[in-house]
Amino acid sequence: MKIYVDADACPVKDIIITEGTKAGIPVILVTSFSHYSNEQQPNGVETIYVDAGADAADYRIMKLAKKGDMVVTQDYGLASLGLAKGCQVVHHKGFIYNNENIDHLLQTRYLSAMARKSGKRTKGPKPFTEEDRLKFKELFIDILQQVNQ
């Protein structure tokens, strides 16, 4: 198993790196060159840089991920592709994407896009909170413990 992170706007990279390396699971951060950093990552963490194109990180993650890997993303499209490939897909706000919730999430995204296209204003995502961070950490540690049993 490997953990792939859609890392451009992921607010829980520190948790993923800390807990993933502690569990001995490779962590791959996929991010655009516009977020380039010379920061040294710990052993077991790899950073892959991609072009700044709209879905470049998503395409790279789907090219690399295999059945049974984990993908951490807030992107519903990437989540859908990951589920179809047999990956476990987790949102940084602490919930697991599954076949029951992905259709609703994609439909909501589509309806919001159509509303914006017709000139209506829609609400964006709620701000990321400390409660979201704790919820993610608990879920992530839970998943890692299940994998290591």
Q: What does the pLDDT read at residue 110?
A: 65
Q: Is the pLDDT of residue 109 over 70?
A: no
Q: What tokens does 108 get?
A: 């909501």
Q: How confident is the model over 59-79, as pLDDT tens digits?
A: 999 999 999 999 999 998 899
User: What's the CATH code of the domain at 62?
Assistant: 3.40.50
Residue 76's nearest CA partner among 111, 49, 117 is: 111
Q: Is the pLDDT of residue 53 over 70?
A: yes
Q: What does the pLDDT read at residue 136?
A: 98
- Number of domains, the chain: 1
pTM exceeds 0.85, yes or no: yes
CA–CA gap between residue 76 and residue 112 (Å, rounded): 13
Once rounded to an integer, what is the mean pLDDT over residues 114-143?
88
Task: Determine phi and psi for 36, rounding to 5 degrees.
Answer: -60, 140
**Which domain covers residue 37, as residue numbers?**
3-147
Q: How confident is the model over 3-22, as pLDDT tens digits?
A: 999 998 899 999 999 999 99
